[in-house]
Structure 1
Amino acid sequence: MSTETQLTPETVIELMREERFVMMSTATAEGKIVSHPMTPQEVTDTGEVWFFIGLQGDQADAIRANPQVNLAFAETGSWLSVAGKAEFVEDRAKAAELWDGQVDAYFDGGLEDPNLGLLRVSGESAQYWGVPGGKVMAAVKMAAAKVTGQEGPGKAGTVEL
């Protein structure tokens, strides 16, 4: 990595809003780290990330036992890791606000599905590594660095949220 970059909470929020999918990592009761693909329904101006989640299953059980989670956002040329605390929220009005047709595939009963849960992750810190310029430019810069034997073009930063 060539340089440290100034990472701000606002930049973290912007980066989180750009991604449609995220990997959420939790720790099982045995201490094993596992990751699940998730779709953020909303990233608030304060950096809270809202998800729908099944209330029955290993992922929900792991969060109940240990609410510390990690959200990994990645695309070609950049990576964002957000450590935070997850909390189940019972708020039907918020669930209705966030509901979209894509969620139907996971919850047959819609908003009334007894397995439907609402999860809010509040970020505590974030780490970033990336190459400025977007996906195509990142791929070009990384390939050029490899061919020329120069240091990679990436930048890194850490911020408390």
Structure 2
Amino acid sequence: MNHDDKTGTVAEIVKETRIAVLTYVSLDGALVSTPMGMQDFQDPGTTWFLTQRSSDKVGALEADPRVNVSYSSKAGWVSLSGTAHVSDDRAKLEELWDPSASAFMSGGPEDPDNVLLRIDGNTAEYWESPGAIGVAFQMAKGLVTDSEPDLGDNDTVNL
């Protein structure tokens, strides 16, 4: 599979994901994972999330911007390693603001506490799923034949 095919597979999985999990290092050095609503996705190399500047997450990311974002959908699973950047881009915030943001964040896109997290991906590891029926078949086949089931493609791509 070539680079474009791999990034296409990553993009397909990410596009189908509604909630991603952002993992970062807290100020006391612990790994923290938090669910984040998908706001904008055009390319596996850049993902945007909405958050609040006053959150512990933003303080931790400004101290250590290394992150992992995991995505899971019916198409498979992606583990994206990258760097987080806090952005005050009001035009982009206005573009991405929707009713779900108002449910979780006070104020609106004009509130100075509401900011963006831009995740610049470096690498993505993915597992492409053959679908629920395919997984069930492969698991049953593995049990009956005592062989390892084929649960889909797995690879890593540099973004």
Q: TM-score interval w.r.t. the shorter chain?
A: 0.7 to 0.9
Q: Look up the match of 2:147.
A: 150
SS of 1:114's equivalent?
Answer: coil
Contact 1:69 1:83 in 2 (8 A): yes
Identity, in percent, stands at: 37
Gaps of 5+ in 2: none
Q: Is the 8 A contact 2:9 2:128 kept in 1?
A: no
Q: Deviation of residue 45 (structure 1)?
A: 3.2
Question: 2:22 and 2:103 mapped to 1: Cα distance?
Answer: 20
Aligned to 2:76: 78
User: Does the 8 Å contact 1:107/1:115 carry over to 2?
Assistant: no
Deviation at 1:53, TM superposition (A): 0.9
Q: Secondary structure of 2:29's match? A: coil
| TM-score between both structures, scaled by the size of structure 1 | 0.85
What are the equivalent positions in structure 2 for 1:1-161 lying under 5 Å apart? 8-45=6-43, 47-75=45-73, 78-132=76-130, 134-154=131-151, 155-161=153-159
Compute the TM-score of the two structures, normalised by the length of structure 2: 0.86
**Which segments of structure 1 move beyond 4 Å, counting only runs of 4 or more?**
none
Deviations along 1:35-55, whole A, 9 cap, x unmatched? Answer: 000012111236310100121
Distance 1:76 1:12, change over 3 A: closer
The answer to whether the 8 A contact 2:67-2:81 is kept is yes
Shift of 1:77: 7.6
Question: For structure 1, which runs of at least 5 residues remain unmatched after alignment?
Answer: none
Query: Aligned residue pairs: how many?
Result: 156
